[in-house]
Structure 1
Amino acid sequence: MRGRDPGEEHRASTPLELLFDLTFVVAVSQAASQFHHALAEGHVGSGLAAYAAVFFAIWWAWMNFTWFASAYDTDDAPYRLLTLLQMAGVLVLAAGVSAVFERGDFALVVAGYIVMRVAMVAQWVRAAVEHPEGRGGALRYAVGITVVQLGWVARLWAPGAWAWVTFLVLVAAELAVPAWAEYRGSPTGWHPGHIAERYSLFTIIVLGEVILGSLAAVHSAVAGRGLSAPVLLIAIGGLLLVFALWWIYFTGSEAGLTTLRTALVWGYGHYVVFAALAAIGAGLEAALDAVEHHGHLPVRGAGPAVALPVVITLLMLGALHRVTRTGAVGHALLVGGGALVVLVLGLSAPALGTGGAVLGMGLAVAATLAANLFTVRRRAEGH
């Protein structure tokens, strides 16, 4: 384990990385499904808090593996077996998602993390032993991950409000470990193009979950009462949202991760992107429940349930564009204007109908995409 060349040409995701990502399909699906049920039952506040916490656990587990693999993927037998152990931990985490939403019980999620952290620390220790040039950073990662994980275990006994206070403190500690290890130790040789591709693939996974969850909800609605106009409009609007957001994200060259600072901002910012994209699926399912009069979410809540994650996604993509100069973002005002229109449409669901509001959101994001593409093209032509 001598470290990969960060300048290696044609570096692509490996079959093992793709198999690893499949375990996160389960975890993301569980989080989105539980958030959908919380919205449908009208438990918006508690559901949102549980969703944000669970999605952080999912995203951070994936990110830890991805950046390590970008620097030290040897693809030999020990590496593969430790990756298998991490995959098992992800599935344990996914099994604990429902307990977080129902009872605020993180025990099974933490158990999954212990399994993953044993494998991750073993990988870092191996890198420290076999790659002397990167030993300082590898050891800092191993120590930092271990200490924070002990904190997560201790947090299980935190009483009342302290449970969430300690959660936020430990999240900050988790985010600080890579910065501490990279700045104070020996920087790891992560590959910018490989990292950009890995994030792109996870974006596809999340968008796929949006489509799958929405399709299941449409099928349920049609099987119950037949295809109605509101259901059809939500289905069309949801597909437009997914496609337009995909187009915005995947326009341009690979991310310009030229420094550690830009890499951390871009990498950490994707927590918001991934969580918001998955929440769009939960919102679409909740909107379908509302038009079919299932659950307790009123129409005035169904519109914002879709609009708010779309707005957050647009604004975050616009912000990340300022860091890497990628994506279909011609001007920040265009993105902000599109987000404002989406928000207004979401709040207008009682007047427009939930179906009309969701279709309008899809058209608004498509128009935002078209305006930005036009601006980018004119800029490239020197106008």
Structure 2
Amino acid sequence: MATTRIRARMTARPIDEEHRTSSPLELLFDLTFVVAVAAVTAEFAHSIADGHVEVLSFLQVFFSIWWAWMNFTWFASSYDTDDLPYRLLTMVQMAGVLVLAAGVPSAAASGDYRTVLIGYLIMRAGLVLQWLRAAYENPAGRSTALKYAAGITAAQIGWLLALTFADLALPWFVLLVVVELSVPRWAERGPQTTWHPHHIAERYGLFVIILLGESVLAASRGVEAAADHLSASFLLVAGAGLVLLFALWWLYFLHPSGEGLSERRQHSYRWGYGHFFLFAALAALGGGLEVAVEETTHAPQSVGYAVALPVAVFLSMLWLVHAPIVNPPVTPLIFVLISVAVVLVLPLVLSTVGVVVGCAAVVVLLVGAVLSRPDRRQA
């Protein structure tokens, strides 16, 4: 029986470590993000239903969720010791996620980001302590770890100042996002962290499953709200929404990300950062489906776009993030362009029911086209 180690030296894990998979602690960590994603998806659905889609607020909050999750994921791929200090600091970050989730309604309703920022700072503080421990116990990667700790700390000071003196105005938010995104590029100049490509690919895949699960949950909220006026259209849009989510899941996992990252590690930034838009599209799709199911017969054209646009972004970003690491691409570019064009036209010519059914049909056909290619059949 496995037991928790009280203390283990934090050294870099091998890049080619066999049987490297997500740990039970990482899976628990992901579960706390289910709460945060559910909160931001629910608020986004409310804004769609009210007729004033809060895309900017949605992206701002979702960035804090995604960036904290991603930073922990890449750190854990290199330095997961699974001992007592590591577990406790990871649990501190989990607590920060829950605080952030509690602040989502206030951020969406009145632009009050204080609670969201407090939760974000708690998550980032836990990660800074992890990097400082890595710097102390792993001399080979000390300079890189100290750069991460210093860069993250500086960014958090910037967030506090921006909220205190500028109420987190958009220009300051954009500037600090650039700073946050620049920290890994700066820190990795020199000794680089030994992240495991297959482990990273699995972790991203698990987050995709979380987001798809949130979309199912969002759609089920729509079903619950509309349960008193069932109709053929209602059943059609609910069933088509489920088929759409199944097809998006299938399409994502057709891409061999682990092998691609192993062979082309230099493209990891484009792959990892590009997933922000892919993940955000899946979260936004959940909000769109919730409203589409709930307001099947009276939904305005904007609800159709709330479904079609996320699908189009997902298909586009799926190709863009994998093109540098998977050669030849799993999905030919012409297939993607045709699919995106059709999806974006659907809200102009069809009702919300037609848009959901049409999007599901397009993605199912795209999956079928990929699976029917000779190289895929041989695989």
* TM norm. shorter chain > 0.5: yes
CA–CA distance in 1 between the matches of 2:180 and 2:286? 28
**1:10-21 equivalence runs, <5 A:** 10-21=19-30
Residue number in structure 1 paired with 2:188: 182
CA deviation after TM superposition for structure 1 residue 173, in Å: 0.5
TM-score (norm: length of structure 2): 0.93
TM-score (norm: length of structure 1): 0.92
CA deviation after TM superposition for structure 1 residue 354, in Å: 1.8
- Which residue, out of 42, 49, 70, partners 1:63? 70
Contact 2:223 2:294 in 1 (8 A): no
The letter of the residue matching 2:75 is F
**1:187-226 equivalence runs, <5 A:** 187-222=192-227, 224-225=228-229
CA deviation after TM superposition for structure 1 residue 259, in Å: 4.6
Look up the SS of the partner of 2:324 in the other structure: helix
- Which residue, out of 163, 170, 174, partners 1:164? 170
The letter of the residue matching 1:272 is F
CA deviation after TM superposition for structure 1 residue 292, in Å: 5.3
In the alignment, structure 1 segments of 5+ residues that lack a partner are: none
CA–CA distance in 1 between the matches of 2:20 and 2:378? 31
CA–CA distance in 2 between the matches of 1:71 and 1:88? 22
1:308-353 per-position Cα deviation (integer Å, ceiling 9, x unaligned): 000000010011221221898331110110111111112223xxx3
CA–CA distance in 2 between the matches of 1:319 and 1:91? 32
Structure 1 residues 380 and 360, CA, compared in 2 at 3 Å: closer, same or farther? closer
CA–CA distance in 2 between the matches of 1:265 and 1:144? 20
Misfit runs of 4+, over 6 Å? none
1:189-208 per-position Cα deviation (integer Å, ceiling 9, x unaligned): 11111000000001000000
Instruction: Judge which range, 366-375 or 329-338, deviates more.
Output: 366-375
CA–CA distance in 2 between the matches of 1:327 and 1:144? 37
Look up the SS of the partner of 2:226 in the other structure: helix
CA–CA distance in 2 between the matches of 1:119 and 1:381? 47
Look up the SS of the partner of 2:257 in the other structure: coil
Residue number in structure 2 paired with 1:7: 16
Count of aligned positions: 368
Contact 1:33 1:282 in 2 (8 A): yes
Residue number in structure 2 paired with 1:320: 321
Contact 1:247 1:328 in 2 (8 A): no
Contact 2:212 2:282 in 1 (8 A): yes
CA–CA distance in 1 between the matches of 2:100 and 2:327? 33
Contact 2:271 2:322 in 1 (8 A): no
The letter of the residue matching 1:166 is W
CA–CA distance in 1 between the matches of 2:95 and 2:378? 51
- Which residue, out of 234, 237, 240, partners 1:234? 237
**1:45-124 equivalence runs, <5 A:** 47-124=54-131
CA–CA distance in 1 between the matches of 2:276 and 2:92? 24
Contact 1:254 1:326 in 2 (8 A): no
1:226-278 per-position Cα deviation (integer Å, ceiling 9, x unaligned): x2122111112111211111111001433311455311111001111111011
In the alignment, structure 2 segments of 5+ residues that lack a partner are: 1-9
Residue number in structure 2 paired with 1:341: 342
Contact 1:328 1:373 in 2 (8 A): no
Contact 1:90 1:116 in 2 (8 A): yes
- Which residue, out of 162, 170, 179, partners 1:173? 179
1:57-111 per-position Cα deviation (integer Å, ceiling 9, x unaligned): 0000100100000000000000000011010001011111111111111111111
CA–CA distance in 2 between the matches of 1:319 and 1:165? 27
- Which residue, out of 335, 341, 358, partners 1:360? 358
- Which residue, out of 268, 271, 277, partners 1:272? 277
The letter of the residue matching 2:273 is Y
Look up the SS of the partner of 1:324 in the other structure: coil
Structure 1 residues 77 and 381, CA, compared in 2 at 3 Å: closer, same or farther? closer
Contact 2:289 2:307 in 1 (8 A): yes
Contact 1:249 1:327 in 2 (8 A): no
Residue number in structure 1 paired with 2:7: none
Residue number in structure 2 paired with 1:247: 250
Structure 1 residues 328 and 310, CA, compared in 2 at 3 Å: closer, same or farther? farther
Residue number in structure 2 paired with 1:138: 145
CA–CA distance in 1 between the matches of 2:255 and 2:313? 21
Contact 1:96 1:109 in 2 (8 A): yes
The letter of the residue matching 1:112 is G
